[in-house]
Copies of this chain bind each other. A is one copy, B any other.
């Protein structure tokens, strides 16, 4: 039951209409603890009998991610998931157990990108960094790393 206003504000600021389905979805998204999939929203919307069409859920996710307040992450499994987040450049650490994410800013990546550009001769326009592991809350539950950190 977190605050959905950032999502609504973003929509309003972009000149998009604040319709009932969008309000409901903003709330639904704000309520998510970790990352969530479009299917999750469909299921919950049905569970809560919100009467929101599947297409609208996809369209709203598109709109919100276009505005940068929701971001798509590519799970190692190949699935797509979303997280609500701030519309500034950043990356995510994703907990493989509970799905909760933390935002991280540049964290020294700028240097890495510059070095890569220099070494490869590519002009790098865009980059994506995702980190997976266990959040502080889940750490005690799982003693061994899945893979050696690298």
* Interface of A toward B, CB cutoff 8 Å: 72, 74, 76, 78, 80, 89, 93, 95-96, 102, 104, 106-113, 115-117, 119-136, 139, 145-147, 149-150
Chain A's interface: helix, strand, loop or mixed, by majority?
mixed
Q: CA of A149 to CA of B39 in the docked complex: distance in angstroms?
A: 33
- What chain B residues lie within 8 Å of A136 (beta carbons)? 121-122
- What chain B residues lie within 8 Å of A127 (beta carbons)? 129-132, 150
Asked whether A125 lies within 8 Å of B113 as measured between CB atoms, the reply is no
Give the Cβ gap from A39 to chain B, nearest Cβ, in Å. Answer: 15
- What chain B residues lie within 8 Å of A128 (beta carbons)? 74, 76, 128-132
Smallest CB-CB separation from A129: which chain B residue? B129
Asked whether B132 lies within 8 Å of A120 as measured between CB atoms, the reply is no
Asked whether B107 lies within 8 Å of A125 as measured between CB atoms, the reply is no
Asked whether B131 lies within 8 Å of A145 as measured between CB atoms, the reply is no
- What chain B residues lie within 8 Å of A111 (beta carbons)? 108
Asked whether A115 lies within 8 Å of B124 as measured between CB atoms, the reply is no
8 Å CB contact of A133 from B110, B117, B134: B117
Asked whether A126 lies within 8 Å of B147 as measured between CB atoms, the reply is yes
Smallest CB-CB separation from A144: which chain B residue? B125
Smallest CB-CB separation from A104: which chain B residue? B116
Give the Cβ gap from A144 to chain B, nearest Cβ, in Å. Answer: 10
